[in-house]
Amino acid sequence: MAGELWVAVMVAAAGTLLMRLLPLVWMQRRLAREDSQGGTAAMPRWLGVLGPVMIAAMLGASLVPAAGTLNAWVATAVGGCVTLLVWWKTKSLGWPVVSGVVVFGVVRFLNFVVI
């Protein structure tokens, strides 16, 4: 990896850490100032909206299958539905992801076997 690429990695790493850390410092100072122990201080509304819509955008972008075939799209749709169903049943993180990946794989595998 070239020198400038290392710099890019380190800047991205430092920036990510600061984005996780600085808001904590800010909020702790704000809480101390307000002397509101145990309460949840109000966040700017736009910040609370931007978080979930960013994750939604990541989901949309990640849904496009690398293969780009009809079978890959069908596998994505079926895998996504199974992920959602298993989440609905279990309300957990691990099992829905594992189930979705397995079903996606089965649909893709069937395509290889049939064709």
Partner 1 sequence: MSDQAISAGGRAWVSGVRDATPLLGGYIPVAISFGLIANQAGFSSWEAIIISLVIYAGASQFLFVGMVASGAPLWLVVVMTLLINARHLVYAPNLAPWLNGNRWWFWLMHGLTDQVFALAHTRLPALPPSERLGWFTGAMLLAWFSWVGGTALGAFVGQELTGRWPLLNDVMPFALPALFVVLLAPRFTSWLWAAALGCAIVVALLFAANGLPNMAIPVAALLGAAVFFVMQSNTRAEV
- Tell me how far, at minimum, the Cβ of 106 lies from partner 1, in Å: 9
Burial class of residue 106 in the structure, from the number of CB atoms within 10 Å of its CB (0-12 exposed, 13-18 middle, 19+ buried): middle
Q: Tell me the C-alpha distance between 47 and 51, whole Å.
A: 7
Determine the 3-state secondary structure of 61 from DSSP: helix
- With beta carbons less than 8 A apart as the criterion, state whether 75 and 104 touch: yes
Query: x-or-dash pattern for partner 1, window 14-53, by CB under 8 A?
Result: -xxx-xxx-xxxxxx--x-----xxxxx-x--xxxxxxxx
- Tell me how far, at minimum, the Cβ of 13 lies from partner 1, in Å: 4
- Tell me how far, at minimum, the Cβ of 73 lies from partner 1, in Å: 10
Find the binding residues for partner 1 in span 68-107 (CB under 8 A).
72, 75-76, 79-80, 83-84, 87-88, 92-98, 100-101, 104-105
